[in-house]
Structure 1
Amino acid sequence: MIELFSSVNQVSSLLFWGILLITIAIYFGVMESNKKEKAFQKVFKAINVVLLIWGILLLIGAAKGHQSFWLPLKSNTAMEHTTTASQQTPLFTEIYNMGDLKKKQTEAIALQKPLLIYFYSSYCSLCNKLNEITYKEAKIIKSLSENYVAVKINVADKSDKKMLEMKKHFNILGTPAFVFFDAEGEKIDDNVLYGYQGVEEFYDTLDLMAE
């Protein structure tokens, strides 16, 4: 439900998260002092302090127009400058219907490369984290660019019938989600991979699926 708020825009999302984290911290007594606190209470207090600080950082980031939940004080321009030159070409080709997908499947088979289908949403915080961290790593860029035909599908618009057709075809239940086809056009594994993957984990996944 929280991610629905960020579909409006990322700035309002940071603002919402900042207010939420600060409210939670205050509600659970971050400002209260008790010298007789037990060990577990001190741990709980420390967690609330972290939430309070993170909430404040998010508010500052939102006020400056920044977009990253994980790096709220880093400007959008600075983040763009960290992108390597090889990332100027999009890692994923956006597709919009089954016709686009079939063309990419044909292309992958012709090139003898596996096909990666990435289902994402513009209001998915984990998808944004992938964009900000995992997809900016040089070895991920190299692996996707050299070894894969990679496409992505935005599932945010619930009224898009062509998108819904692709989502239903692969039985996608959430985002981020990954579907792999081998170089012969056969689906690898019947399961869809869900969730955030850090640099090393995603690199290992790409390496494994490309074998």
Structure 2
Amino acid sequence: VVKQFFGWLLLAVSLFLVERLLPTSISMWLWIFYFILAAVSLAVAISQSMRTATKVTAIILLAAMATAGSYWQVNKAQLEQQSHGLFTQVSSINEIQQQVENSDGWVMLDLYADWCVACKEFEQYTFSDTGVQAQFEQFTLIQADVTRNNAQDVEILSRYQVLGLPTILFFDPEGKERAEYRVTGYMNAEDFEKHLEKIVSE
């Protein structure tokens, strides 16, 4: 049982590293499959090596852990999907410029990629925050998914001199990108809300 437990633990570490390269929808199902398979495998091992009372307790605990782990993954995916839905998707410089020109207020451009762990953290923990979403009402929100790194993606990153992700750009009501407000790297909900407040209070 102990050997199996550590074996599943090592597999979890591997899965944690691999999920960074996968879309959330795929990694979610991989984790759910992992939790269920690990729970069943360990339950079988426990049933063959422990006394009845201990066996029942251990199996109940494993079932609870598998359920909690699966719920955690589903909830994480839902938060990311909900945050993703707040943005208008753009895929070229022309589309970005059109959105900026058509807006009479501040525009926020989020540069995102499936392989970017911090990008997903923004969607799961920061963009999903109610305080941040209240500030979002004062912005036109657009997002460019540069996962594929095709010619249009490269052009976007080059035009705005983006060196890494996540990067969030802000355009003022005159359509000018305000570099002093640019965000590079992850920012938690509290700090990001304050950052948005500072921008709109200008």
RMSD: 3.4
Q: Which residue of 1 is the match for residue 170 of structure 2? A: 180
- Indicate which of 180, 186, 191 corresponds to 1:196: 186
Work out the CA distance in 1 between the residues paired with 2:107 and 2:188: 20
Structure 1 unaligned runs (5+)?
Answer: 16-59, 67-72
- 8 Å contact from structure 2 (residues 76, 124) kept in 1: no
Task: State the number of aligned residues.
Answer: 151
Instruction: State which of 125, 136, 139 in structure 2 corresponds to 1:148.
Output: 139
Residue 14 (structure 2) pairs with residue 8 (structure 1): no
CA distance in structure 2 between the partners assigned to 1:99 and 1:124 by the alignment: 24
Q: Note if contact 2:181-2:199 (Cα within 8 Å) is conserved in structure 1.
A: no
Does the CA-based 8 Å contact 1:117-1:153 persist in structure 2? Answer: yes
Distance 1:7 1:149, change over 3 A: same
Structure 2 Cα separation of the partners of residues 184 and 102 of structure 1: 12
Matched with 2:74 is: 76
Alignment of 1:77-92 (within 5 A): 77=75, 80=78, 90-92=85-87
Q: Who is 1:166 aligned against?
A: 156
Alignment of 1:32-51 (within 5 A): none
Superposition deviation, residue 107 in structure 1: 1.6
Change in Cα spacing, 1:140 to 1:171, as seen in structure 2 (3 Å) is: same
- CA change 1:124–1:131 in 2 (3 A) is same
Are the counterparts in 2 of residues 4 and 123 from structure 1 also a CA contact under 8 Å?
Answer: no
Instruction: Give the 5 Å matches for 1:15-34.
Output: none
TM-score (normalizing by structure 1): 0.60
The residue identity in structure 1 corresponding to 2:151 is K
Between Structure 1 and Structure 2, which shows a larger proportion of helix residues? 2
Give the distance between the partners of 2:85 and 2:176, measured in 1 at CA: 25
Q: Normalization by structure 2: what TM-score?
A: 0.63
Q: Any stretches of 5+ residues in structure 2 without a counterpart? A: 1-15, 32-64
Amino acid at match of 1:128: K
